[in-house]
Each structure stands twice: as structure tokens, then as C-alpha cells.
Amino acid sequence: MVPRLPGAAERRPAAARMETTISKWPKVRPPLTAEQARINDEFLKLWHEVLPKRYGVVERFNHGFPVRHSTPGFRTTLEIGAGLGEHIRHERLTAAQEAGYHALELREGMAAEIRTKFPGIHTIVGDCQKRLDFPDGHFDRVIAVHVLEHLPDLPACIREARRLLNPDRGVFLVVIPTEGSPAYSLARTLSAARVYRKRFGGDYSWIPKREHINLPAEILEELKPYFAVEVRRFFPFPFLPATACNLCIGLALKPRPVALQE
């Protein structure tokens, strides 16, 4: 009997053969030194303060899109990655809607500022990539403004958002940057990079490489099995629906009754 020669797949090392079956999620960020961690946290807080003051036209789209595309008569809201509460200023909430508004923020220091500014809403510290202590279908809205691009375990966040949304009237309101596009790269050079260098000096590029780890195509790919896109808007050129020439994408999404991959 002539011995069978191993095929190409069998000749590859075992680790290489596993690459096609191992998920890329969760992504692993490079470790930070103590000094880098301090600068990273300080800059993120600084940027949340500077953005609405200097770049109001961008912020009006970022926060106006979820407001415009909310389901009329909603009662309950979960905002993930609420930062310093910038989005809440753009809402026009009734007393009942304010009582049903939950702002989820990962950092206690930033959450404390939300509590001070907006004592009428519920501010909680937690991770949107973990299961949250709410029942299935509890929320009419889940809002994520410039959050999904940051998440190492993006699919876990998306599955949790779908679980928490009311299957009939729930809507997932998302705004993401066109990370990697020429327009966004230029805008960053003229904005965030300048703010960073003025405060800290040195190279800024390590922060977006660490923070903006998910590109638009990746985010849309992970959303598709669980949500259907009802509205998609590009900014600042809605008549040119392409990432290359825009800065942000707004999405209004409805949860699928059955996930495509289930």
C-alpha cells in the first residue's frame, strides 16, 4: 500500500489549523503601564468635556440621532457607556421617561458626575459586555453613542442589548465613528490629537489604537444576526452614504424575533 501523503491542512502546525475555528472575540488590548493607564483615563474624561464645547455640530448629530429616531411613547431607556451624561442633555424627557432612564457607565468617577448633574435618573456602574440585572425585554430603548467601537467583547454587548429590549417596541439606537476612513483620520488629527498633545505632549496614536478597536464593518457584521437596520444615516454627508467621506454613522435597529445564527 502506498502511504498517503498529508494534505496541506494536515501539514500546517496545529496552532495554525486552529485559527479558522477560534473566535476573535473577545479582543485583547495591549497592556498599559501605570502611567499610560493614568493618561488614558484622564484623556478620555478630558475629551468628554472638550467635545461638546468645541465640536458642537458633531455632537448635535451624535446625540440628536437617537432622540429623533426614538419610538414615540417610550417609557424605559438604558444608555450604555454614558460618560459624563452628555447625551441626557439632548433628551426631552417627561417625568415618567426620566424615572425610567438608566445610565450605565463603567467608570465610577464619571458615573458620580452623572449623579450630580442628573439626580432624577438612575445611574449605575457596570459593564455592558456582562449580563445586567434587568429582566428580559425591560427596555423600550437602548442607546449607545460612540460606544461599540470600544468593546473587546462586542458580540456579548449586542446579545445583551437584544435580550433587554422589548421585542415589539424596542429599538437599539447606535452612533459609531467611521474609524479608519480618510475623513475620520483627518478630523482626529485636527481635534483629539491636538487636545492630547496640548495636555500631555508626545505621541497620541497609541490611544485610538487601544480604544477604537472595532471598525464599522465589524460592528455591522456583529449586529446583523440580532438586529435589522430600520434607519441608517451618515454625517456630515447623508447624500454620500460611504464611510470614506463621513465621520459618523447613526443606526436605528429593531431586534430580530429569532437571531439569524440561532
3-state secondary structure of 209: helix
Predicted local confidence at residue 216, as pLDDT: 98
In a domain, 193, yes or no: yes
In a domain, 96, yes or no: yes
188 touches 160 (CB < 8 A): no
In a domain, 117, yes or no: yes
In a domain, 239, yes or no: no
In a domain, 186, yes or no: yes
187 touches 179 (CB < 8 A): no
Predicted local confidence at residue 162, as pLDDT: 98
Predicted local confidence at residue 158, as pLDDT: 98
Phi, psi at residue 61, to the nearest 5°? -70, -50
Predicted local confidence at residue 30, as pLDDT: 86
3-state secondary structure of 153: coil
CATH number at residue 188: 3.40.50.150
Domain count, the chain: 1
Count of CA atoms in the C-beta half-sphere (13 A) of 219: 24
In a domain, 240, yes or no: no
Predicted local confidence at residue 145, as pLDDT: 98
Chain Cα centroid distance, residue 185: 18
- For cell 429616531, the residue is 69
* Pick from 145, 172, 169: nearest CA to 228: 172
What is the rounded CA–CA span in Å between residue 10 and residue 13? 8
C-alpha distances out from residue 106 to 68, 96, 123, 244, Å: 26, 25, 11, 31
143 touches 72 (CB < 8 A): no
- For cell 488629527, the residue is 189
What is the rounded CA–CA span in Å between residue 29 and residue 204? 16
What is the rounded CA–CA span in Å between residue 212 and residue 219? 11
In a domain, 260, yes or no: no
154 touches 31 (CB < 8 A): no
DSSP annotation string for 65-97:
HHHHTSPTT---EEEES-TTSTGGGG----HHH
Give, for 50, the enclosing helix (H) or strand (E). helix 34-54
What domain range includes position 122? 32-171+179-232
Read off the amino acid at residue 83: G
Written as tens digits, the pLDDT of the chain (262 aa) is: 444 444 444 444 433 433 334 569 999 998 999 999 999 999 999 999 999 888 899 999 999 999 999 999 999 999 999 999 999 999 999 999 999 999 999 999 999 999 999 999 999 999 999 999 999 999 999 999 999 999 999 999 999 999 999 999 999 999 999 999 999 999 999 999 999 999 999 999 999 999 999 999 999 999 999 999 999 999 999 999 999 999 999 999 999 999 996 5
Across the chain, the runs of DSSP E, i.e. the strands, are 77-80, 101-105, 122-125, 141-145, 171-177, 227-235, 248-255
In a domain, 253, yes or no: no
